[in-house]
Structure 1
Amino acid sequence: MKIGTWNIQGLRTKQREVISKIEKMNLDIIILTETKKKGTWEEILNEYLHIWSGVPKDFRARSGVSFLIKRKWTKFIKQIENINERILRIDMNVFRHKITILGVYAVNDNALVDEKNKFFQDLSETIASIPYQNEIILIGDFNSRVGNREREVVGQYGEESINDNGERLINLCKEHALCVRNTLFRHKNIHKYTRIDPVRNIQSVIDLVVVKNERRVKLNDVRVYRQPECGTDHHMVVSKHVFPFRNKRRCTEKDTDFLIEENDVNFKTDLLKQYSVEMLYQNRIKNKLENSEDKSPEEMYNHLKEAVFEAAKEVLGVEHEKSKFVEKFSENLESMIKEKKKIYLAWISNRNDDTRKEYGEKRKEVKELVKIEKNEHWERLCRDIDSTLGYNRSTEAWKTIKNMRKNCNRSKIQIITPTKWIDYYETILQENRVEYQQDLECTHWQEWEPEISRLDVKRALARAKNNKAPEPGNLRMELLKYRGSSIIEYLQNLFNRIEVSGVIPQEWNMSYISSIHKKGDKTSCENYRGISVIPSIARLFPSILKEKIQKGITFSEEQSGFRSGRSCLDNIHCLRQIIEKYGMHNIDTYMTFIDLEKAYDSVPRCKIWPAIKRLKVQEKWINLVTKMYQNTEACIKMGRKITRSIRTNEGLKQGCSLSPLLFNIYMEQALETWYKKCSQMGVPINDKCLHALVFADDQVIMAADREDMEYMLRKLKEEYEKWGLKINLKKTEYLCIGGDASNINIADDEIANVSKFKYLGTVITDDGKIDKDITTRLAMGRNVIKALHGLIWNSVLRQDTKRHIFHSIVKIIILYGAEMWPLTKRRRDRIRSVELDFMRRSLQITRLDKIRNEVVWERAGIQTTITRRLENKALQWYGHVQRMRNERWPKQIVNWIPERSRRRGRPGLTWKTYT
């Protein structure tokens, strides 16, 4: 394994050049120092995985260290730890040798003593945290001259000089039994010195390779290579490591745990938007679909897939995987870079002042040309966005913007093994509770009359969304939506055949689970959220069943989740109004925000069917739903590979159109008895009591006093346990406005009191005010503006397009839940300042230009300010509430006045007065 290090003195404008040099050197791993990249993450650059650690994004770019690892070695990575902007740690298990590599960029020798102390203390603590049995490789720019006298740490072929950083490094090596290996091998001076001061012409060895004294991995050589050049005064240092063969069992994982994913083909579905292509595609499918009268549902489904794939391949063609947004250099620039390299090699050979001057001039020319080409590249992208945004091709514009801002939000490294993932998901998705381990059976199955019409199929296709993952089966929804009458008729026959026979195609029982990291330790499966994807056609059939089942089903007014004509705003509005009116009348408000532990995945399937039967749903539809939940399986997707399948018999199907309805039915039955037990509690509104506001599994319990709250929580916990659900008491939080703010006890458990809680995206505070919520939304808006700064600042993009970006992205984020904000002058000014910040950036105006806000508004051409739009939203919501039925809680609460005298003093601004 060839491991190198190179101080490149900034990666931003040299990335393509640096990568090409490293590829020519054929290095397996290289540590780049002084990259000046911000933040921490990873990306794919050609054949290398780039992992970096830098300063926070709101700091000035400096320091920075990163790893470039060849893709064939990434499977050996076990852990990545970003210590700080100067130390990056990677743990690997290579041929059963455990190795820890630390990429290091030390502070300068003339830095402050406190900075040196902190750096070497951090480095020492990091080394101390490495397990004893691990091989240790420290490599990077240490800014340390270690001399050649301390023979227990350095070799005899080092330089004579030593500096303060060098003495500190020697002491560190003695403390942890390490040695500097650059000085062990005899080389010419040109292959020994890692840096040459361009001004004083002083040579030094400061880019070092440090390893353990007692090691099993053999180090064959460490030397300098002068040929790679990128405008830095450091040379590349390369070390060669040899791993001895260890005759042990190669792996503890079973071969059957990991499979290669097949049939992963994407077609050019965008072409279907062209009328001629769409008609050709429909005719090809019509010719390929055969008569299906004598076929089973399984055969019909497989025949449909084959016909669609063949037609798509013939008409549309295969779309190759798109790479990340990159900037390509022109042939002219590439030739200039080669000329620069030739001059550089001539200069390091003869050290002539004229050659050095020529090299400096050529560097400047290349740098200027790079800037010009980068600007031209941005201009082309902005023109593409400008020509598509706001028109029929707006989806393409947003894809371009997302690709430009994309920062690889999914990790490219599989730190967790397939076996661990399988064990984890088996624990979650397999029913371990004995009382719920019952096989799903269909009662009184008979051949019913088919009821699914062509109109049902058309509506299901119209509701289906484009650009969604198609797996398993890889049949994209777009290939079905641009359908023609032949596919609709075929799907109708397929669904009716399933309805009559009760036979579900086998692939419909399969799902692929992708794991998305939430926060915390990346090596822990609990810190990931599993996203399940089922086949495209398997989403259409449940969508039709949902329409059939939900006819005649009514839910309580407290539930707003997964219901037509209702949204998060209903619950936010009710909560804000109760807090506001109770505050005006000096009444204490007691609220507990309930968190159910894996509610969607922990629903016992055997208890769903009794809940549906209580609602008197037709038996045929119940039996079909039961069939869909029999023999379900899942595979865990890891990159482009999948594991073996596991059996799933707990929880609802993710991605299935029917699951939200089933969850609402289940929650309704679970809360039915609780509502009766607590009928006289809660918040009295007119002649009724509001006990809770529910949005799917997000639930807030409200009470008039603390004793009622404790009773309601105790009974709620008991009812949920009867139905197989569990309250997560660690995440459940209690918030009190004006009353006793101490923690609440339920039996032996305690629920913590908090001063604020984020409910459905809006911040609720213990003072009952909205200022904290406004502050949070404005901060989120400013973060988006900062992320889009490069796009907004570009002068090529028209001002109309920039305004469209603001209203389509920034404004939506800021104004979420703003319908319930009564605005004062101070609040208006705060909100308008964010819009003004965006417009100043779009016009390339800074504070130093000293241009008044009125002039900025005029130049930006703003007709309607964000506060005016906010007022319009508030009025629209007020009208929407007034048009609701009288039994709806939002309307009842708006017109309700608590039966208590208002507190003394000037009344505050209420939402109803404001609107």
Structure 2
Amino acid sequence: MGGDRREWSYPILNKNDIVAVTDREKVDMLVRTFVEIHSGKNLSGNEIEGRERTRKENDGILRRKENDNDLINYPFSIGELKRALDRTRNSAPGKDEVCYIMLRHVSEEVLKKILILYNKIWKEGRLPCKWKEAIIIPLKKPGKDHSNPGNYRPIALTSNLCKLMERMVNERLTQYLESKHLIAPYQSGFCRGRGTIDPILCLEDIRKAQINKETVVAVFFDVEKAYDMLWREGLMIKLHQMGIGGNIFNWLWDFLRDRNIQVKIGYHFLKLCKIENGTPQGSVVSPTLFSVMINDIFKELSISFGKSLFADDGALWKRGRNVDHLIVKLQEGIDKVGKWGVKWGFKFSIEKTKVMFFTNKKIGVDKKLYLYGKDVGLIVFGFWE
């Protein structure tokens, strides 16, 4: 990698009074820090029990699925491979050092050989182990204390051969989800034809409330370590519930399992370390899989609620003239979302989850909403004339 060498130098690291001075010691400390982010030790007893209950309710789902006649499971064509290759951008390679620019310049015969390899993997549902290994480059978070190993962002370099196959798999998965209208209409992140403008349109409810002299009470949810702690088994259960089986199910389950990382500083690597939870960082298919996992967060709530999702950012709101009634209903909604989180392995941040009032009324300090039994801070916005 080029650029200013100072960007790729690392200061002495300190964690819990343990000091890392040499590059080898820094690599060891950083990889342990990154592994801890995905560790099951982050789960509370209640969260572990929630996952276990969901697992028992869906016993046997993770067994290998036999193929069906769905087009999603057919062998890949040379056309699909070429389209996937055309959409690639130059990016750093993984451990195999295969670059996209190399793949874009191979002959037709070589492409056909690659396609044979992909279809063999597709049929068997077993990915090469090396495809599930990532080199992690630690990047400094701006404005942070860089002696703290927690203030580095892990950037994963994985096999471009794997990411090329991911593109084909992701295209089929996306088409399946879209054709069957399986993604919630209020999800705007990672969805073709949707974007940031969609949740902005939800502000129309605030305008209507202003015109009708009503109040809008909204809850903005923040999921802790949403991608890092995503429950893989729960995700596969969700895919099964959406009718996904056969080759694509087997491929995705193997893709998510037994993933390992190595941190690199200069020329220093240490042994591979296993990642317990989460979707692979930098993966092509990870955003789509996350959308599947969070898709039914508001499923148990009535249509009287306003709902919006952008990737892992969720909002729930209700408008009316009776503030006390709105608070009661929003509390019911928060409780249902909290129970959903326990069932599917998500935890919401009490500190970052916020409640906002859009109103021309004065809101008393006694108006409170609770998440996990703890008071969520209120913000009053508006006071329209």
- Shared fold by TM > 0.5? yes
Code of the residue aligned with 1:615 in structure 2: it is M
Q: In structure 1, what is the equivalent of residue 312 of structure 2? A: 697
- Cα distance in 1 between the residues matched to 2:68 and 2:109: 26
Provide Cα deviations, 1:704-738, integer angstroms capped at 9, x if missing partner: 22222222112211211111100011111222111
User: Which residue in 1 is equivalent to 2:122?
Assistant: 499
Deviates more, 1:558-567 or 1:548-557: 548-557
Q: Which one has a bigger Cα radius of gyration?
A: 1
Conserved? CA contact 1:450–1:500, under 8 Å:
no
- Residues of 1 paired with 2:34 and 2:347: CA distance? 18
Q: How much does 1:423 deviate?
A: 2.1
Find 2:186's aligned residue among 543, 554, 558. Answer: 558
Which letter maps to 1:423? Answer: R
SS of 2:115's equivalent in the other structure is helix
Q: CA deviation digits over 1:661-699, x for unaligned, max 9?
A: 211111124x2xx433x20542xxxxxxx3x11011011
CA distance in 2, matches of 1:709, 1:530: 37
Cα offset for 1:590? 1.4
Compute the displacement of 1:43 (Å): 5.6
Alpha-carbon distance between aligned partners in 2 of 1:483 and 1:527, rounded to the nearest angstrom: 41
2:337 paired with 1:712: no
Q: 2:261 aligns with which of 599, 610, 634?
A: 634
Closer, same or farther in 2 for the Cα pair 1:252/1:588, shift >3 Å? closer
Letter aligned with residue 504 of structure 1: L
Q: 2:12: which partner in 1?
A: 78
- Compute the displacement of 1:749 (Å): 1.0
Q: Give the residue type in structure 1 aligned to 2:185.
A: E
Kindly provide the CA deviation profile for residues 477-523 of structure 1, in whole angstroms up to 9, marking residues without a partner as x: 12212344233212211101212233322210101223333343323
For residues 189-221 of structure 1, give each alpha carbon's deviation from its aligned partner in whole angstroms, at most 9, with x where no partner exists.
Answer: xxxxxxxxxxxxxxxxxxxxxxxxxxxxxxxxx
Q: CA 1:747–1:474 in structure 2 vs 1: closer, same or farther (change >3 Å)?
A: closer
With 656-665 and 509-518 compared, the bigger mean Cα shift is at 509-518
**1:421 pairs with 2:30:** yes
Distance 2:330 2:68 in 1: 51
Q: Percent identity?
A: 20
| SS at structure 2 position matched to 1:465 | coil
Out of 579, 582, 593, the position equivalent to 2:206 is: 579
CA distance in 2, matches of 1:750, 1:450: 51
Comparing both chains, which one has the higher relative contact order based on Cα–Cα distances under 8 Å and sequence gaps of 6 or more?
Answer: 2
Contact between 1:580 and 1:768, CA under 8 Å: does it hold in 2? no
How far the C-alpha of 1:544 sits from its partner, in A, is 1.1
The answer to whether the 8 A contact 1:440-1:606 is kept is no
Tell me, yes or no, if the aligned pair for 2:94 and 2:135 is still in contact at 8 Å. Answer: yes
- Long gaps (5+) in structure 1: 1-41, 51-70, 80-90, 92-250, 259-415, 683-689, 756-765, 770-902, 904-915
**Alpha-carbon distance between aligned partners in 1 of 2:303 and 2:74, rounded to the nearest angstrom:** 47
Find the counterpart in structure 2 of residue 407 from structure 1.
none
Q: Is the 8 A contact 2:338 2:372 kept in 1?
A: no
How far the C-alpha of 1:637 sits from its partner, in A, is 2.8
CA contact (8 A) 2:27 2:268 kept: no
- 1:296-353 CA distance string (max 9 Å, x none): xxxxxxxxxxxxxxxxxxxxxxxxxxxxxxxxxxxxxxxxxxxxxxxxxxxxxxxxxx
Preserved contact between residue 593 and residue 699 of structure 1 (Cα < 8 Å): yes
Q: What is the distance in 2 between the residues matched to 1:512 and 1:697?
A: 26
Structure-1 separation of matches of 2:327 and 2:266: 50
Cα shift at 1:639: 4.7
Aligned residue type for 1:735? M
Change (3 A) 1:649 1:440: farther
Listed as ranges, the matches of 1:535-684 within 5 Å are: 535-553=159-177, 554-575=182-203, 577-639=204-266, 641-669=268-296, 671=297, 674-676=298-300, 678-679=301-302, 681-682=304-305
2:68, 2:246 within 8 Å by CA — same for their partners in 1? no
Shift of 1:464: 1.6
* Corresponding letter in the other structure for 1:695: F
Within the alignment, does 1:731 sit opposite 2:352 as a pair?
Answer: yes
Assess, with a 3 A threshold, how the Cα gap between structure 1 residues 505 and 728 changes in structure 2: closer, same or farther: same
Displacement after TM superposition at 1:78 (Å)? 2.8
Q: Deviations over 1:519-538 (max 9, x none)?
A: 43323333333232321111
Alignment of 1:49-64 (within 5 A): none
Give, in whole Å, the separation in 1 of the partners of 2:223 and 2:152.
17
1:582 CA displacement: 2.0
Q: Deviations over 1:554-611 (max 9, x none)?
A: 2111111111111111112223x22223223222121221110010111111111111
* Aligned counterparts, 1:170-189, within 5 A: none
Shift in alpha-carbon separation, 1:639–1:586, aligned structure 2, 3 A: farther
Separation of aligned partners in 2, 1:440 and 1:473:
34
Which residue identity lines up with residue 555 of structure 1 in the other structure?
I
Q: Equivalents in 2 of 1:254, 1:43: separation in Å?
A: 21
Judged with a 3 Å threshold, the aligned counterparts in structure 2 of structure 1 residues 621 and 768 are, in CA distance, closer, same or farther, namely farther
Query: Hey, what does 1:485 align to over in structure 2?
Result: 108
Q: 1:447 to 1:712 in 2, by over 3 A?
A: closer
Residue identity opposite 1:697 in structure 2 = D
Give the conservation status (yes or no) of the 8 Å contact 2:350–2:371: no
CA deviations 1:144-166 (Å, max 9, x no partner) are xxxxxxxxxxxxxxxxxxxxxxx
RMSD of aligned residue pairs (Cα, Å):
3.4
Task: Give me the whole-angstrom Cα distance separating, in 2, the residues matched to 1:767 and 1:549.
Answer: 43
Quick check: 2:65–2:249 contact (8 Å CA) kept in 1?
no
How has the CA–CA distance of structure 1 residues 596 and 746 changed in structure 2, closer, same or farther, with 3 Å as cutoff?
closer
Distance 1:735 1:640 in 2: 50
User: What per-residue deviation string (whole Å, max 9, x for no partner) do you get for residues 731-783 of structure 1?
Assistant: 1122211153745333531212236xxxxxxxxxx2399xxxxxxxxxxxxxx
Distance 1:446 1:585 in 2: 55
Which residue of 517, 536, 554 corresponds with 2:140?
A: 517
- Opposite residue 371 of structure 2, the aligned amino acid is I
Q: Which among 59, 63, 81 is matched to residue 457 of structure 1? A: 81
Is the 1:636–1:643 contact (alpha carbons within 8 Å) kept by the matching residues of 2?
yes
Give the 3-state SS of the residue equivalent to 1:714 in structure 2: helix
The alpha-carbon deviation at position 702 of structure 1 amounts to: 0.9
- Alignment check: 8 A CA contact 2:370 2:376 kept: yes
C-alpha change, 1:605 and 1:746, in structure 2 (3 Å) is closer
Contact 1:450 1:496 in 2 (8 A): no
Aligned to 2:323: none
**Conservation of the 8 A alpha-carbon contact between 1:480 and 1:487:** no
Q: Is the 8 A contact 2:138 2:155 kept in 1?
A: yes
* Correspondence 1:392-403 to 2 at 5 A: none
Q: Structure 1 length normalisation: TM-score?
A: 0.35
Q: How does 1:881-900 map to 2 (within 5 A)?
A: none
Residues 684-833 of structure 1: pairs in structure 2 closer than 5 A: 690=306, 692-704=307-319, 705-738=326-359, 739=361, 740=363, 742=365, 744-746=369-371, 748-754=373-379, 766-767=381-382
Letter in 2 for 1:618: G
- What SS does the corresponding residue of 1:451 show, helix, strand or coil? coil
8 Å CA contact 1:450–1:499 kept in 2: the answer is no
Question: What does 1:181-260 correspond to in 2, within 5 Å?
Answer: 258=24
Q: Are 1:469 and 2:92 counterparts?
A: yes
* Structure 1 residues 680 and 493: alpha-carbon distance in aligned structure 2, compared to 1, 3 A threshold: closer
Counterpart for residue 40 of structure 2: 431
Q: CA deviation at 1:450?
A: 5.7
